Amino acid sequence: MRLIIAEKPSLARAIADALPGQPRRSDGAIEVGTTTVTWCLGHLLEQAPPDAYDPRYKQWRLDHLPIVPDPWQLMPRPKARGQLAVIRRLLKAASEVVHAGDPDREGQLLVQEVIEHLRWRGPVKRLLINDLNRPAVARALGRLEDNARYQALYRAAQTRARADWLYGINLTRAWTLTGRQAGHDGVLSVGRVQTPVLGLVVRRDLEIANFTPRPFHVLWADFSVAQGQVRAWWQPGEQHPLDDQGRLLARAPAAELAARLPDAEGRLSELDSRDKRQAPPLPYSLSALQVDAARRYKYSAKQVLDTCQALYERHTLITYPRSDCRYLPRAHHAPLADALPRLCQADATLAEWCSGADFTRRGRAFDDAKVGAHHALAPTGKIPDMARLSAVEANVFRLVVRNVLAQFHAHLETREIKACFEVLGERFTASGSELLVAGWKPLFTTRDETPPLPPLTRGEPARVSAAEVEDRETRPPEPFNDASLIKAMMNVARYVDDPDVKRTLRESDGLGTEATRAGIIETLLDRGYLVRAKAALHASRTGHALIASLPDPATRPERTALWEQRLSRISESDDNEQAFLGALLGDLRSLLSAADAGRMRQALGSAQGVEAAPPRRGTARKQSARGKKRTTQRRRAGKPSGGKP
């Protein structure tokens, strides 16, 4: 019997449907002829906790640190024991095993660690699938490879998991124990990803709190021309006091000029007109969808993720949602072109958006070369019963369909016009936009972002009919919300200065992955490090104190970039995992030596931030004894979740 082990049930179903024969479902598996397809449920295994290596580690002590497992151990996740037993039983009857994890580093780890944990010693083939369409899966089944080719990728993923364990377990214990010495009651959790995310919010909060507004001044003038009126803005020269963004810091020059402008005669000295074509926005990755849904509907990142899972699993209306890709396979073009007109008729909004589509058009989103382990979110083609969807589900479904539907609309075409007026020896500029072809734009907004200018002719006279100085102030940055924090995690390179680190962070997934970003935010909220105030996210006093007490490198994203550089080299057999872990231990010992009760006490005493809300109902088990609760929290902190970091 050939046994195929897929990463998730949806992939297992797609594989079974592409095999010749009639699928027959059994407990935890699907049989098709002489092939049985089973699946993992995400990670079935997790890193063992410290006390699995030595019972004395049940007690948290600074003199135990760093804890370094040797040899490393995995243990079943509590909710995964049943499926692990299914795979164990099927392996005993198998003559050949096929690894069908996602074609990426974590997918390689997820299935292979199960195969090795269950001590399979026979041959293993590798099945690489990034498109769940039946023809694509059938082609992949005809191109099985030897899994040995992907051992370097497995070692890189395994090294990442072990490094995260070493980093999280040891620093969490160190800072929790130091916090106790400084009078803090509770776990202070530290992680390679969650702590830099918290650091982003803390630094933004401090930037807002320490912001000093600076006044600046702008001068506008209304110019009467042959066919209308144009409002233009003064461009003061370098002889005036300007800030680094060219804003005028002194009011007097603007006021003096404004007094001389009314009825002054000038001319249109420069006129630049350029036609622009803009392709439709791409279909969504999960993070891009979370950003747009937060902006449009104020949905939290977790709310969007949970809604997508319901649309995928319960309603089967969209494809696999935890994707970091914004492109679709070319083979999806024809099925979508066929299905979209029918499914859009189920909803008035979708029907309106569909009316201008040209389903012979092939947008730039259909590009096999840019499809990775997963493709972009897309409708499955199933006709929705909108009455069975909640309001949130309906809104998120419309967004997913809209961005795919946009690929069948024409480019947006505009004429961008920039005008420069000269009067009294000074320059005033205006800009406008003329819509030539609406294309995909009506699917996203019905308003003009830049109003058009009246017809203009270079050199024509222009008389000033009115002018005024406006007094303004610089404004602090906005606090983070779900949308902007997810976007910051996606584009974290903008928050670092080192060019090599910037490049690595651009090439990697930033902080977290599509599957984990919402969970990271929720974890920080549940642990009381972040507080949600309406739509804004702020760090709590505890969050501020934790960041202030840690060495600065532990609170910034550079470490993720440096890890990614070496993990990439390990995955290409250009680096050694033992050397990486050895260097990490040296770094870890340096960080542990910085754990200081005095610094912690000072951080706790001077921490800004807001008070955290009480723990959410259901996030922690109520316990009568305070000591018992403390022990449970420590054990939880001692077992960081697995999966993609």
Q: What is the mean pLDDT of residues 572-580?
A: 90
- How many C-alpha atoms does 436 have within 13 Å on its Cβ side? 14
Question: Are 87 and 100 spatial neighbours (Cβ–Cβ below 8 Å)?
Answer: no
d(CA 469, CA 566): 56
pLDDT at residue 451 in the model: 82
CA 299 to centroid of chain Cα atoms: 15
The percent of residues in the chain predicted with pLDDT above 70, rounded, is: 94
CB neighbourhood size of 310 (10 A): 19
**Which residue carries 């970003």 as its tokens?**
517
pLDDT at residue 334 in the model: 94
The DSSP call for residue 314 is: I
Q: Respond yes or no on whether the N-terminal peptide bond of residue 66 is cis (omega within 30° of 0).
A: yes
Burial of 369: CB neighbours in 10 Å, binned 0-12, 13-18, 19+: exposed
Q: What is the mean pLDDT of residues 342-356?
A: 94
Same domain, yes or no, for 404 and 416?
no
The percent of residues in the chain predicted with pLDDT above 90, rounded, is: 78
Look at residue 431 and tell me if it is in a domain. yes
Same domain, yes or no, for 80 and 138?
yes
Q: If you write DSSP's letter for every residue of 133-156 in order, what string do you get?
A: SHHHHHHHHTT-EEGGGGHHHHHH
- Lowest mean pLDDT: which of 84-98, 277-291, 397-411, 446-460? 446-460
Q: Which residues pair with 6 in a beta bridge?
A: 39, 100
The pLDDT of residue 612 is above 50: yes
Q: Which residues contact 102 (CB under 8 A, 6 or more apart)?
A: 7, 11, 110, 130, 373, 374
CATH code of the domain covering residue 64: 3.40.50.140
Question: Are 83 and 40 spatial neighbours (Cβ–Cβ below 8 Å)?
Answer: yes
Look at residue 148 and tell me if it is in a domain. no
Helix (H, G, I), strand (E, B) or coil at 226: coil
Look at residue 399 and tell me if it is in a domain. yes
Q: What is the mean pLDDT of residues 362-381?
A: 91
Rg (CA), the chain: 29
d(CA 393, CA 218): 45
pLDDT at residue 103 in the model: 85
d(CA 43, CA 106): 10
The pLDDT of residue 547 is above 70: yes
Same domain, yes or no, for 302 and 391?
yes
pLDDT at residue 620 in the model: 37
Question: Which of the listed residues 362, 390, 408 is the one where a domain comes to its end?
Answer: 408
Same domain, yes or no, for 533 and 431?
no
pLDDT at residue 558 in the model: 85
CA 168, 169, 171, 172 torsion-angle sign: positive
From 478, 613, 515, select the one nearest 193 (Cα to Cα): 515
Question: Which of the listed residues 105, 122, 143 is the one where a domain comes to its end?
Answer: 143
What pLDDT, in 10s, does the model give residues 107-145?
999 999 999 999 999 999 999 987 777 888 999 999 999
320 catalytic residue (yes or no): yes
Same domain, yes or no, for 532 and 617?
yes
Helix 194-209, helix 482-490: angle, nearest 10:
120
Question: Which of the listed residues 429, 444, 473 is the one where a domain comes to its end?
Answer: 473
What pLDDT, in 10s, does the model give residues 449-476?
678 899 999 999 999 999 999 999 999 9
pLDDT at residue 400 in the model: 98
β-strands 96-100, 2-6 pairing:
parallel
Record the tokens describing residue 203, joined without a space. Answer: 């630094």
Same domain, yes or no, for 225 and 349?
no
Give backbone dihedrals phi and psi of 411, rounded to 5 degrees, phi first: -60, 150
Look at residue 644 and tell me if it is in a domain. no
- Exactly one of 150, 299, 320, 495 is catalytic; name it: 320
Residue 550: pLDDT band with limits 50, 70, 90: very high
Question: Are 73 and 48 spatial neighbours (Cβ–Cβ below 8 Å)?
Answer: yes
Same domain, yes or no, for 131 and 22?
yes
pLDDT at residue 86 in the model: 96
Same domain, yes or no, for 465 and 487?
no
**Averaged confidence pLDDT in the chain:** 90
From 477, 507, 481, select the one nearest 492 (Cα to Cα): 507
Q: What is the mean pLDDT of residues 327-337?
A: 94
CATH code of the domain covering residue 256: 2.70.20.10
pLDDT at residue 617 in the model: 43
CATH code of the domain covering residue 571: 1.10.460.10
Same domain, yes or no, for 504 and 594?
yes
Higher pLDDT, 499 or 280: 280
Record the tokens describing residue 601, joined without a space. Answer: 């006490």
The pLDDT of residue 165 is above 90: yes
pLDDT at residue 637 in the model: 40
Q: Which whole-number Å values give the CA distances from 397 to 260, 389, 473, 519, in the listed order?
A: 57, 9, 41, 21
Same domain, yes or no, for 341 and 482?
no
Q: Respond yes or no on whether the N-terminal peptide bond of residue 71 is cis (omega within 30° of 0).
A: yes
Residue 640: pLDDT band with limits 50, 70, 90: very low
Same domain, yes or no, for 95 and 236?
no
**Which residue carries 């972040």 as its tokens?**
530
What pLDDT, in 10s, does the model give residues 486-503?
999 988 878 877 787 777
CB neighbourhood size of 227 (10 A): 11
Structural domain for 520, as ranges: 156-210+478-637
From 149, 131, 474, 516, select the one nearest 305 (Cα to Cα): 516
d(CA 156, CA 566): 9
Question: Are 109 and 164 spatial neighbours (Cβ–Cβ below 8 Å)?
Answer: no
Q: What is the mean pLDDT of residues 231-257?
A: 95
- Lowest mean pLDDT: which of 72-81, 173-182, 210-219, 621-630? 621-630
Q: What is the mean pLDDT of residues 346-366?
A: 94
CB neighbourhood size of 31 (10 A): 19
From 8, 7, 15, select the one nearest 110 (Cα to Cα): 7
Q: What is the largest CA-CA distance in the chain?
A: 94
d(CA 283, CA 400): 7
Look at residue 149 and tell me if it is in a domain. no
Residue 614: pLDDT band with limits 50, 70, 90: low
Report the number of distinct structural domains present in the chain. Answer: 4
Higher pLDDT, 395 or 631: 395
d(CA 438, CA 406): 12
Record the tokens describing residue 563, joined without a space. Answer: 């890890």
Residue 509: pLDDT band with limits 50, 70, 90: low
The pLDDT of residue 636 is above 50: no
The pLDDT of residue 632 is above 60: no
Q: What is the mean pLDDT of residues 499-524?
A: 81
Look at residue 593 and tell me if it is in a domain. yes
3-class DSSP string for 512-563:
CCCCCHHHHHHHHHHCCCEEEECCEEEEEHHHHHHHHHCCHHHHCCHHHHHH
CATH code of the domain covering residue 290: 1.10.290.10
Residue 374: pLDDT band with limits 50, 70, 90: confident
Look at residue 587 and tell me if it is in a domain. yes
Same domain, yes or no, for 224 and 274?
yes
Q: What is the mean pLDDT of residues 481-485?
A: 93
Look at residue 642 and tell me if it is in a domain. no
pLDDT at residue 448 in the model: 63
